[in-house]
Structure 1
Amino acid sequence: MLQRGSRLSVFSGARKYDEEGIPNDVEVIYTFVGSGHEGKYRPTMPKQPPTEEAQGDVEFAGKFFEWLEEMLKQGKYPGHAFEVIPGGLNGVAEGLNRLRSGQSGGKKFVYQIGQQARE
């Protein structure tokens, strides 16, 4: 439940964000991945906060991902479980079949693009 005077960070690529039910005294802050790449909001984004709010996003994103890389190296965040499916892109069908049959077990499937199919 949102408390009075709190801030809500919204991550949305949707064409429309429904603010119904959010109290008037809650500050809504829009977070868009594109501003971390380009330093500005795209014209197609559903809400257009002031351009000044995107200033510094590229620098912040760069520093954040450097920090995250270090945390992963130190083992502070284990990352998501994954399984390498052999055969490169030829293994995609196998991965899709595993997904359809519920055999992913919460793992991400990784395909090594340069790898040749095993015969």
Structure 2
Amino acid sequence: MLMKDNGNPQNFEEYLESQPEEYRANLQEMRDIVLSVIPQAQESISYQVPCFKYHYMLVGIGVNKNSSSFYTMSPPLVKELKEELKGIKTSGATLHFPPGKPLPVELIKKIVQIRAKQNENLALLKKK
């Protein structure tokens, strides 16, 4: 694994390899879902976690010591989806869940689609 001298991952594969085994399948699944919805999303590492960019930052995925995280990059979106997120731990724009209880695929797809539309609208506004 070729990480920078500071030990920070440079891409998704390095990030994945650096995580405990019980988190890896879910991280890979979330990545696959995001890219299935927005195949042209650009992957990067931002704040030491995998993120996806589509015009602007779209979503991110990660792990902390107790859970997997899905970063919606939009606190208002989390508030808007409050009913659909019942039973899922949230903080700000982030959804947290244990490794054995992944987020529903349709929920991830819905969030990615909403965020993509938000980013497209913002890009159009900035062009004017």
The TM-score with structure 2 as length reference comes to 0.23
Higher normalized contact order (CA 8 Å, seq sep 6+, divided by chain length): 2
Larger-Rg structure: 1
